[in-house]
Amino acid sequence: MPRRGRSTVRPRALLWQALVLASAIALAAWLVSNTLDNLARRGIASGFGFLDSGAGFGIAMSLVEYSEASTFGRAFLVGLLNTLLVSAIGIVAATVLGFAIGVARVSSNWLLARLAGAYVETLRNIPLLLQIFFWYFAVLRALPAPGRSLELGGAIFLNNRGLYLPSGDFGTAIPTVVVGCAALLVAGLLMRRRPVAYGGAGALIVVLFVAALTADWQAPELRGFNFTGGLVVMPELVALAVALASYTAAFIAEVVRAGIQAVPRGQVEAARALALSRRDVMRLVVLPQAMRLIVPPLTNQYLNLTKNSSLAAAIAYPDLVSVFAGTVLNITGQAVEVIALTMAVYLAISLAIAAAMNLYNRSVAPRGA
């Protein structure tokens, strides 16, 4: 039987690919045309011009200036910043907690290892939404009213309306310097330049210490039925951050445990033969090698945490989904634009996290790999 020549197979493959591509383009064009026709029949104008219109609704928590007279675009920015805030808090807390529990899982202490195992098996097998409800309704909402708040040192108060902390006026230069020092620290870690990293960490500590000494602190005061002044952390943020961090930490702990146990046993025995303590063996030998295996699945957990933050709508935390894909969508009716922009934002955040973790992964990879 004669063999088919490459000249016969290649044009046929190209033809099939062209047909599939043309079909996909035709389907997309039909969907867009059908959507625009349906919007026109309902009198809904397409486009993003609605972002410049007045919002007319308030938002309980905002990291930037916002009022009912602000635009829908401003409301989008508020929701985006709130999403980034709870995601950043959750990632940092989940990483610290997850690494601690992961190391405890392989500890020679029987009780510590069993407690860590119980934490992992319990938290990761309970739906995240139920954990959010638990922290919000069963824990935070059960706290006393502002008049009977739990207090610490007469400056920190905790009640069912939130956590009230002293706030200070640091000026506009201090945050810029702090961000610069933190960037220097991260750059030093990524480039494996310890002097740069140590310099950034030292400068950051000094700046924070000086800012704490020179700031004009204002403590919360109970006036009437609520506190005024200071910094307020709303219970929705606390419940969501705690649930995201504790839930994701259970998965990170398993990733850390698997990475540690993947390090060859001979490496550990050789380190112990050099009379290194258990702590030094873990810090100098095991973890540096385990990180090469931990970072890729750790990236997935960071992405999952960021996307899971959209469950904030269940407890009315004003994140991007609740504010923009919820309130703004209901007011404007611009479903296509709002949902498309919301999905694009989550995609951009996920790609940014993945790119940063890939950069770190290359920095910890063996030289020449």
- pLDDT tens, residue by residue, 77-109: 999 999 999 999 999 999 999 999 998 998 888
pLDDT of 273: 78
pLDDT of residue 188: 63
Residue 208: count of CB within 10 angstroms of its CB = 15
Q: Is it the case that residue 369 has pLDDT exceeding 60?
A: no
User: Closest by alpha carbon to 179, among 210, 203, 195, 196?
Assistant: 203
Backbone angles phi, psi at 319, to 5 degrees: -90, -170
Rounded distance between C-alpha atoms, residue 310 and residue 176, angstroms: 29
* Residue 130 to residue 128: CA distance in whole angstroms: 5
Q: The dihedral of CA 310, 314, 318, 323: what is its sign?
A: positive
Q: What pLDDT shows up at residue 131?
A: 96
Q: Give the tens place of pLDDT for each residue, 322-352.
A: 999 999 989 888 888 899 899 999 999 999 9
Yes or no: say if 202 and 185 are a contact pair by the CB < 8 Å rule: no
pLDDT of 168 higher than 80: no
DSSP per residue over 237-286, as a string? HHHHHHHHHHHHHHHHHHHHHHHHHTS-HHHHHHHHHTT--HHHIIIIII
- Residue % of the chain over a pLDDT of 70: 79
Exposed e or buried b per residue across 193-203, where buried means at least 16 C-beta atoms within 10 angstroms of its C-beta = eeebbeebbeb
Contact between 293 and 259 (Cβ < 8 Å): yes
Instruction: Please state the pTM of the whole predicted model.
Output: 0.80
pLDDT of residue 47: 72
The residue type at 186: V
* pLDDT higher at 308 or 268: 308
pLDDT score recorded for residue 244: 96
Amino acid symbol at 4:
R
Closest CA to 123 of 248, 241, 239: 248
Give residue-wise pLDDT tens across range 15-40. 888 888 888 888 888 877 777 677 66
- Superfamily, domain 72-138+236-364: MetI-like (1.10.3720.10)
Q: Where are the domains of the chain?
A: 72-138+236-364
The pLDDT of residue 89: 93
Identity of residue 262: A
pLDDT: is 368 or 108 the higher one? 108
> pLDDT tens digit string along 172-222?
555 666 666 666 666 665 556 656 556 666 666 676 666 666 666 677 777
Q: What is the dihedral of CA 196, 197, 202, 208, to 10 degrees?
A: 120
pLDDT of 32: 72
Residue 203's pLDDT is what?
67
